[in-house]
Amino acid sequence: MSLENLKKELSDLADFEKANLLQGFFKTGEGQYGEGDIFLGIIVPNTRRVAKKYVGLELSEIKKILYSKIHEERLCALLILVEKFTKADESNKKLLYEFYIKNAKQVNNWDLVDLSAPKIVGAYLLSKDKKILYRLASSKNLWEKRISIISTMTFIRNNQYKDTLKLAGILMKDKHDLIHKAVGWMLREVGKKSLKDEEVFLKKHYKKMPRTMLRYAIEIFPEEKRMKYLKGVA
């Protein structure tokens, strides 16, 4: 088991026609959020299968691919971390969580955040102090901000909504569409568990929420209620 073998396995799975499509989908052009990201065109299930084979890699080796310019190599690094975290005892969970937070700026596209943050950051903080999420929410880094709100998916699944709603309030004024979508998504997930809690938040904020955020948040509502929110008469 070696880093070189891992890279070769990923390279052998490359689909350059698909890679060209992904370059556009993940906004890799100049000035876009994924500027400079390089894709091999590998579907996630295949990357996940490779990751499971290399779960024994040391953190020093995982760090090397986490700093790769190739998207699927970074994703593979994160999927390995998720596998490690799932199997770790409490002391090693702490080590893996701290590694993730220290290198959070490398979790630098929305799929990388979404596939890893709830399963590492959210899982670790579920029964712990969550102040780190508020620091991340106040970061100037787009991906740290997305990590802060997406990590709360784990809390929501465990019927804890307080931090999701507080972070949504903090991030509501953010200007980036990826944050609008993430916050709206998490509000929608709160609504699936407790429509009352989501609506208390929406009644207070919906008139000043970014439109994309609101649309995501109210997707589960009946059409008549959705229209009232969109028209500002809820």
Given 65, 87, 109, the domain boundary residue is: 87
Q: Do 71 and 148 lie in a common domain?
A: no
Within a domain: residue 157? yes
**What Cα–Cα distance (Å) separates residue 7 from each residue in 74, 89, 128, 205?**
11, 28, 36, 47
**Residue 207 sits in a domain of what CATH number?**
1.25.10.90
Residue with tokens 């350059």: 16
Given 45, 61, 87, the domain boundary residue is: 87
Report the domain count for the chain. Answer: 2
Range of the domain at 135: 101-234
Q: Do 77 and 170 lie in a common domain?
A: no
Closest alpha carbon to 103 in 73, 55, 152, 64? 64
Within a domain: residue 96? no
pLDDT, averaged in runs of 10, over the chain (234 residues): 92 95 89 92 97 96 97 98 97 98 97 98 98 98 98 98 97 96 98 96 96 97 95 91
Within a domain: residue 92? no
Q: What is the pLDDT of residues 105-127, one digit of tens each?
A: 999 999 999 999 999 999 999 99
Q: Which residues are CB-contacts of 53 (< 8 A; sequence separation ≥ 6)? A: 1, 6, 9
Q: What is the pTM of this model?
A: 0.95
